[in-house]
Structures are given as structure tokens and as C-alpha cells.
Amino acid sequence: MEISFETKALRTLCEDEEAAIEALGVNLSNRLRSRLADIDSAENFHEIPAGFPRIKKIEEEDTLLIDIGEEKSIYLLPNHTSVPVTGAGVVDWNRVTRVKIMAIE
């Protein structure tokens, strides 16, 4: 999946190892990098092998959560111009190939 970021600060946290270690510590920083690699190599969220990926409705939006440990998760939303939806009108996560990291909390 293609990854983008809600803010420059999130991009820095995810792409700069020193910033991640400073903010999250060594252990969580390593897990974050592993989860990002998993997301990057997956075709869709069903292929993400770790972090208990799941969909949760947050503020009326279907949000993909992926755990990184110590009660912290990556929060992602679909990032398509036209978000793929099912016949029932909900996000079709099987066809989502672009995601935006909204938060790590």
C-alpha cells in the first residue's frame, strides 16, 4: 500500500529513526518501522501480518488501526481520490491501496 502522512511531524516521526527513538523509545521505534514496512509491502490491509490490524469507526470514519505496542497504535484512513466502497456504501478495505497515517497514539 502507498503511505502518506497527515502532517509533516508524522512524516518525520515515521521516516527519521532518531526522531522516532526520541519520541517513542527504541523498542516502539523498532516496532513502528516494522509495521510501516508491513504496510508498504501489503496489497491491502488483510495482508498486514502483525499488529492486529482492524477497522474501527472513529468520528464517523472507518479507521484502520495497527498496534505497535505499549498501548500505541497507528491510525490510518483511505487516501484515494474516490475511496472504494462496497455495494452497502462502506469502505471496501480489500481495494484500498493508498492510506494516510493520521496519528500514532
Model confidence at 45, pLDDT cuts 50, 70, 90, reads confident
- Average pLDDT estimate for 23-45: 95
Domain ranges in the chain are 2-104
Q: pTM for the complete prediction?
A: 0.93
Contact 72, 64 (CB under 8 A): no
Buried b (16+ CB within 10 A) or exposed e, 57-78: eeeeebbbebbbeeeebbbbbb
5, burial (CB in 10 Å: exposed 0-12, middle 13-18, buried 19+): middle
Least confident of 15-19, 30-34, 58-62: 58-62
> What fold does the segment set 2-104 form as a domain?
YaeB-like fold (3.30.2310)
Range 70-78 average pLDDT: 95
| H-helix or E-strand spanning residue 62 | strand 61-69
